[in-house]
Structure 1
Amino acid sequence: MSGTVIYSLIAIGVIAIIGLSIYIYRQYRFIKTKQAQQREQLARLEAQRQEKYTYVVDSLKILAHALQEEQVGPVEASIRIRSLLVYYDASLHQQAEYQVFDEVFRETEHIPILEAWKALDRKTRRKFERDIEQIEQARGDAVKAAAKQLLVLLNQPRH
């Protein structure tokens, strides 16, 4: 082999090495950028999750406290607490202390709410109000006890 061929092959090899090095470096930068974006996205999602969790905890505390102070009725409090407990800790529905919230919800889920409630005629609305009063009399103390227990739980530091 002549010297020119050898030098040409060496030059081609060096150019190939430089080209591949540039390609590898660009891929490395792309991957690092992608990983940084994923970390930022995870941090944003975690912040949103924490914000929602804090909102749920605060809402549960407010509802439980309002129930204790009789600022809200047991039926309304039960329905709202039951909905929020799913976001706080869904396993609480299985604990005996908190099943009363589910029971009240099931007993009242046939009662219209919001716009449907407003659209009811006076007679039908009064019938539902009597149903609510009966449920509150039957389960009011249990709901208040569960709310009190929930306040104790919510005020404990969570790991």
Structure 2
Amino acid sequence: MSKFEILSLLISTLAAVISCVSLVRTRKLAKEQIELEKVTAELSRLQIESIAEEKSNKTKPKFNVTLTKLGKSYNFYISNTGQGSAYNVDFDLIDCSDTPLSTRELQDMFPHQEMKPNSRIKLMAAIHMNSPRKYQAKLTWENEGGEKYEEIFWPTM
């Protein structure tokens, strides 16, 4: 073999080695790219779920029940701090044999037809020395679609 043929063989062998290395690196990069696309797709799915949950939370009411003392009188406050309205809101004290609430006031106020966002209901409470310090209150309501919800609160003095 002549020098020219040997040189041609070396150059072509070198080109084949470079091509093989390039092929291996390209496959590795393609595999990483596919993994990255899977992660991006999963993140996109989670973000879409988060946006949908956020959107549904904007139409939901969020309630809070507190028992506060103002001067010498006590009041139960039922507040809607959410961004959605609640319908047919009802309020009950559970397992309370000596209720501090007026039966007439409860009958007049509840079920409350609609509680809009940032609204509240005030109920006078006749608290005395033998009254419990903690009450279990159940709040029930419906959303715009008529689905019923209930939540238990533990207001304390």
TM value normalised by structure 1? 0.38
Structure with the greater alpha carbon radius of gyration? 2
TM value normalised by structure 2? 0.39
Q: RCO greater where, 1 or 2, for CA within 8 Å and sep 6 or more?
A: 1
